[in-house]
Structure 1
Amino acid sequence: MPSNDVRILLQAAVPAAAVGAVAAVVSAVVAGGKGAVGAVVATVLAMLFMGIGLYVLQRTAKSLPHLFQAMGLMLYAAQILLLFVFLAAFKNTTLFNPRSFAVSLLVVTLAWIAAQTRAHMKAKVLYVEPEPTGEKPEKTGHSS
């Protein structure tokens, strides 16, 4: 990944991880150990989904820009389906508190989206690729 993409990924992941840590502490206080486990699982799941989504969309934007919007919609649908599969697999689990999991998943996802939005707004992305220095452009056309 180019450095700008890594910078955006880090600027989104660090605040989301911090919010996840706070959610784990709050869940541990409110719901005990199972609440903390639920918050940690939700944080990992949200960061994994959002991180992979950002990576895939950045790659698509660079290699296939005409498919960017369609890929974004497909990625969103895939994330929702994978979350549904995860929820169905752990429907009656006693491993973690489902309420802590749900609240933490929502809070971490919103924190990621807010941080990623801020990172994109602060990024200085060039609209036109500058010509490499040291090379003179070829003159085309009539010289008069």
Structure 2
Amino acid sequence: MQPNDVRILRGATLVAAPAGVVATVVSAIVAGEKGLVGALVALAVVAGFFGLGSAALMRITQNKPQVAMTAGLLVYTVQILLIGVFVIAFGDTTLFNGRAFGLTLLVTALAWVGGQVKQSLTSRMLYVNPEPSVPAEGSRDGM
């Protein structure tokens, strides 16, 4: 894992965690025990899908940074599709409050993505190799 990846992951977590905690507390106050369970399930879903998605993106782009945009869009699309499948699968459940689940999921996911965007835009990433390369023997660059 590269240092920039760690900073982006930390930035996303530092924004999403407080938002998720606030949404969980509000869900528990408004919807009671089932609201608390729904909010906790939503936090687990966001942490799982977005955390694993970030790890997958870091792994994909580790040796091939030129595919970062394509891989990022693919990972994000898969995350959203999997969350949609999860929401549809548990749409009629009585295990937890669906509204508390949905709102906590939305708030936490938006906070996660916002944290990633903010950290990506404010981090100082090198776009070139700072070490000078030695020209190969016989090349014209060394003359």
TM-score, length of structure 1 as denominator length: 0.83
Secondary structure of the residue that 1:63 maps to in structure 2? coil
Q: CA deviation at 1:3?
A: 2.1
- Name the structure 1 match of 2:134: 137
- Name the structure 2 match of 1:104: 104
Question: 1:20-70 CA deviation, whole Å, 9 max, x = no partner?
Answer: 111110001111011111111111211222222222223323323454343
Question: 1:49-104 CA deviation, whole Å, 9 max, x = no partner?
Answer: 22222222233233234543433333233223322332233222111100011111
Q: How does 1:1-144 map to 2 (within 5 A)?
A: 1-131=1-131, 137-138=134-135, 140-141=139-140
How many residues are paired up? 141
CA distance in 1, matches of 2:28, 2:142: 76
Q: Percent identical across equivalent pairs?
A: 45
TM-score, length of structure 2 as denominator length: 0.83
- Name structure 2 gaps, 5 residues minimum: none
- Name structure 1 gaps, 5 residues minimum: none
CA distance in 1, matches of 2:99, 2:84: 16
Q: 1:69 to 1:7 in 2, by over 3 A?
A: closer
CA distance in 2, matches of 1:143, 1:64: 28
2:61–2:71 Cα contact (<8 Å) kept: no
Q: CA deviation at 1:143?
A: 7.2
Aligned Cα root-mean-square deviation (Å): 2.4
CA distance in 1, matches of 2:73, 2:8: 21
The aligned amino acid for 1:36 is: L
